[in-house]
Amino acid sequence: MGIQRINFLTFLPLGSIISILNRNTNKFLGENIMDVTAKASSNYSDSDIAILTDEYQLEPTRETVDSLAKQLNKTPRSIIAKLSALGIYQKAERVTKRGEPVIMKAELVSKVQNAIGRELPSLSKMTKVDLQFMIEALVG
């Protein structure tokens, strides 16, 4: 007796087989499924999508998302999801409580090592505040 070869597609429902074939065909043909899905949603009309894209591209902020949500009677999360699906959503830059951009500790360690001109493994054990003080002392 030889080993029987079983086709894995025979165990999948017909809908799944068609979905797999469509997905692979679209990849092969170079079509963007996300773009087609984003524009063919029943929750947003073509005029809603036009309003979303026009207003958000003028001012890509969270306030714009909130105003669009009120204007279109949707949740802000729904607006963000639609903008993401359309490929135009811009994630807000993270800032500290003081409004300064977030700087990773690894970046500070790298700045100190560049200023000194050598690698010091124990720098990563310092606190972020101490590293900032050290950079000010070295650079400036």
78 and 122, same domain (yes or no): no
Q: Are 43 and 78 in contact (CB under 8 A)?
A: yes
Does any domain span residue 1?
no
77 and 122, same domain (yes or no): no
User: How many distinct structural domains can be found in the chain?
Assistant: 2
Does any domain span residue 39?
yes
State which residues form the domain around 49: 13-86
75 and 133, same domain (yes or no): no
Query: In a structure prediction context, what are the per-residue pLDDT tens digits for the chain, which is 140 residues long?
Result: 556 555 555 555 666 666 666 665 555 555 554 555 555 567 888 899 999 999 999 999 999 999 999 999 999 999 999 999 999 998 888 888 888 888 889 999 998 888 888 888 888 899 988 998 888 888 77
Q: Are 86 and 53 in contact (CB under 8 A)?
A: yes
79 and 114, same domain (yes or no): no
Q: Which residues contact residue 117 at a Cβ distance below 8 angstroms, ignoring those fewer than 6 apart?
A: none
Q: What are phi and psi of 81, to 5 degrees?
A: -65, -40
32 and 80, same domain (yes or no): yes
Q: Is pTM, for the whole model, over 0.75?
A: no
Alpha helices by DSSP H, 6-119: 14-29, 33-39, 46-58, 62-72, 76-86, 105-116
